[in-house]
A and B are shown apart, each in its own frame.
Chain A
Amino acid sequence: MTDMDRADLFSLYRQMLLIRRFEEKSAEMYALAKIAGFLHLYIGEEAIAVGAIAALRPDDYVISAYRDHGHCLARGSDPGKVMAELFGKATGLCQGKGGSMHLVDLPKRFMGGYAIVGGHIPLAAGLAFASKYQKQDLVTVCFFGEGAVPSGQAHEAFNLAALWKLPVIFICENNRYGMGTPVQRAVALYENVAEAARSYGITAERVDGMDVLAVRGLMCKVVDQVRAGQGPYFIEAMTYRFMGHSMADPSHGHYRSKEEVEKYRKRDPLVVLKETMVSQAQCSEADFKQLERDIADVVAAAVKFADDSPFPDPASLHADILVED
């Protein structure tokens, strides 16, 4: 294994660790009432955002649902601005008007988090339509949970994307629960939710969403095909949410057992990658400790930035409703 390969693995690990520690800190900040409203943590699912986005170019489009911190951070957004948005501060990515579920970072081509389940999937088809229309070789990656798959808007978007061979990659993060309802009580073909896309002629593939290298490996292949104009693709990434649905939901709740959560925690994406790094890249405990310290500093700086930032001026209430001529 070359130094470059090691650096690559560290980079993936670092991004996942950033998301993990950022989310843990967000939960803390929620408990301190620094963050309010809905807060949906990405803990346990980090390998999907990091692996998928690692296969993209900076000018490709990324769009997500309401559990969007991980995608935004993986796209390279400034953790301070993300945290400031969660705090509702003027320095947040969206100047405090979006919040946790509606992060947007246009320079990073992160086109937003959306909180009506299934409602952003047609937007993804539209982003892809625009790049095809303008003859740009961009791809659009659209993240959503398995809970969105049976929605009408998802199906309408799958059909349009397939019909017009749009360069969009649908990534279904199958964490097995839509809020507290398990997939087998929500999706008729629950053992193979990708059939929803296949029924429109979209090629679909399942991947271990706890293995960042597997996700990235599949995505590199898929991105090339989609960029080459072969039409949309559907990836079902099998994962698990280690925390509750939102902060209102304890880590396992009534709808799943502690044992089940513990079982999936053994496949923690950080642990999975770390094992590979130790066994195949001779990474040492000291390396990981250093990384932990670095990330702790980044997250602490993000919190400090958010904390020190001002709330928006009430005068900004009416700004940016419309584009003024």
Chain B
Amino acid sequence: MLLSYREALNQAMREEMRRDSRIFLIGEEVGYYQGAFKVTKGFVEEFGPQRVVDTPITEAGFTGLAIGAAMAGLHPIVELMTMNFGIVALDQIVNNAAKIRYMSGGQLSVPLVIRGPGSAAHQLGAQHSQSLEAWFCHVPGLKVIAPATPHDAKGLLKSAIRDHNPVIFIEAQLLYGTKGEVGDGEYTTPLGQAEVKREGADVTIVAYSKMLLVALEAAEQLRREGLDVEVIDPRTLKPLDLETIVTSVTKTGRLVIVEEGWRFCGLGAQIAESIYSAAFDYLDAPIVRVTGEDVPIPYSRPLEDAAIPDVPRVIAAVKSLCGAA
């Protein structure tokens, strides 16, 4: 079945909410407005306002409320209108959701999904365009997911909802309208498993979320120039499936990591460190990172484009690594 990323998310939550009455959805405009990005279209009509809860614009308050509800046995899905607003709720996410199980010596748990779009769309300005996954990945006690395809979005969201831990589920506004094959019927995609999205022998690219599409396009263009690129999508950023990346690197000997987030202390730095530790002897050249520029994302289109990795930059990075520039 061909579905958009948006429809895949809608289907995942709908199926899970039909299955388990402990699951409820809470966030700004999730109900009668049908979701700021229409991900929750039809939900309030099907599940009612008790389970599809519109909130005031108070992210710390309603995220904290969801954490408390999770401590009491419910399974909340918090929709952040954008992941940027997660910064407003960061005290709740970092100090409560991530720590309550540990601080209580395992007595309490916080089964919770916090989801919404991260990364830049088009010209939304510096406060609405950030890729904050590295922040969340840094905190023990959180799982972090960033699917790129409708199939993965559905399967991973269902797994996230069924998980017993706080899960940060990062979507992307520019992915909502993208279409892809989604399996018919019930399926889940396990957390913590990367997927080889394209097989190749010469060089490995690791990319996630929107950047997977950039990497796949770059790989296609490079094929025409005779370079055989393998592309891996970690899908779950934490816990990271290092093994799949190591297996690929032992084959290709070369690794490019593409991420939209800022370069300094970015997720790619961690992936590179992990690969250097685990597979240094298999590398034929230093790992190359293609990242967002270390700037607040500017409004003006040419400036914004300059701040974010694109296909030509990925191609250039691969060529430089393969000595083909």
Which residues on A are within 8 Å of B, measured CB to CB?
A: 61, 63, 92-98, 102, 104-106, 111-112, 114, 116, 119-131, 133-134, 152-153, 156-157, 159-160, 163, 319-323, 325
Cβ of B152 to closest chain A Cβ, rounded Å: 19
Give, as a whole number of angstroms, the nearest-CB distance from A176 to chain B.
26
Whether the Cβ atoms of A96 and B69 lie closer than 8 Å is: no
Contact B96 A104 (CB under 8 A): no
Q: Which parts of B92-112 form the interface with A (CB within 8 Å)?
A: 92, 95-96, 100-109, 111
Which B residues lie within 8 Å of A152 (CB)? 60
Given contacts A93-B105, A133-B50, A160-B61, list 13 more A-B pairs with CB under 8 A. A92-B105, A97-B103, A102-B103, A122-B65, A125-B61, A126-B65, A126-B68, A129-B68, A156-B62, A157-B65, A159-B58, A321-B141, A325-B164
The 7 A-B residue pairs with the shortest CB-CB distance, nearest first, are A126-B68, A122-B64, A156-B61, A130-B72, A95-B105, A94-B105, A320-B106
Task: Kindly state whether residue B209 has any CB partner on chain A within 8 Å.
Answer: no
Set B69, B103, B106, B141: member contacting A112, Cβ < 8 A: B103
Task: Count residues of B near A (Cβ-Cβ below 8 Å).
Answer: 41
- What are the interface flags for B55-80 relative to A under an 8 Å C-beta threshold, 1 for contact and 0 otherwise? 11010111111111111111000000
| Complex: A125 Cα to B62 Cα, angstroms | 9
B55 cross-chain contacts in A, Cβ below 8 A: 160
Interchain CB contact (< 8 A) of A95 among B67, B95, B106, B165? B106
Are B103 and A127 neighbours in the complex by a CB distance under 8 Å?
A: no
On whether the beta carbons of B69 and A321 are closer than 8 Å, the reply is no
Whether A319 contacts B106 by the Cβ 8 Å rule is yes
* B91, CB-defined interface residue at 8 Å: yes
List chain B residues, Cβ under 8 A from A121: 64
> Are A123 and B105 closer than 8 Å at their CB atoms?
no
- Residue with the greatest number of chain B CB neighbours at <10 A, chosen from A95, A98, A123, A134: A123
Instruction: Tell me, rounded to whole Å, the shortest Cβ–Cβ distance linking B97 to chain A.
Output: 10
Per the bound structure, the CA–CA distance linking A319 and B140 in Å amounts to: 12
Write the nearest CB–CB distance from A201 to chain B, whole angstroms.
14
In the bound complex, how far is the Cα of B65 from the Cα of A126, in angstroms?
A: 4
Contacts of B208 in A (CB 8 A): none
Identify which of A112, A119, A160 contacts B108 (C-beta below 8 A).
Answer: A112
Does any Cβ of A come within 8 Å of B143's Cβ? yes
A-binding residues in B (CB < 8 A): 24, 50, 55-56, 58, 60-74, 91-92, 95-96, 100-109, 111, 140-141, 143, 163-165
Q: Give complex CA distance A163, B49 in Å.
A: 14
- Find out whether the CB atom of B92 lies under 8 angstroms from the CB atom of A104: no
Distance of B189 from chain A, by nearest CB (Å): 15
CB-defined contacts of B103 to chain A, threshold 8 Å: 94, 97-98, 102, 104, 112
Let me know if B102 and A97 touch, CB within 8 A. yes
On whether the beta carbons of A61 and B72 are closer than 8 Å, the reply is yes
From B61, B64, B104, contact of A104 by CB (8 A): B104
* Residue of A97, A127, A157, A321 touching B71 (CB-CB under 8 A): A127
**B91 to A133, Cβ gap below 8 A?**
no
- Indicate the member of B70, B103, B140 with the most A CB atoms within 10 Å: B103
Known contacts A116-B95, A123-B68; is-contact A130 B104 (Cβ 8 Å)? no
Q: Which residue of B lies closest to A63 (CB)?
A: B68
Residues of B within 8 A of A104 (CB): 103-105, 107-108
CA distance A77 to B95 in the complex (A): 24
29 residue pairs A–B, Cβ–Cβ below 8 Å:
A63-B68, A95-B106, A96-B105, A97-B102, A102-B104, A119-B91, A119-B96, A120-B96, A122-B60, A123-B68, A123-B71, A125-B65, A126-B66, A126-B69, A126-B71, A126-B72, A127-B69, A127-B71, A130-B71, A131-B72, A134-B73, A134-B74, A153-B91, A157-B65, A159-B56, A159-B58, A320-B106, A323-B101, A323-B109
**Contact flag A160-B65 (CB < 8 Å), given A122-B92, A127-B72:** yes
Q: Which residue of B lies closest to A92 (CB)?
A: B105
Distance in angstroms between the alpha carbons of A102 and B175 in the assembled complex: 41
A128–B66 CA distance with the chains assembled, in angstroms: 11
**B170–chain A nearest beta-carbon distance, Å:** 18
Expressed in whole angstroms, the Cα–Cα distance for A160 and B64 within the complex equals 11
Does the CB pair A126–B141 fall under 8 Å?
no
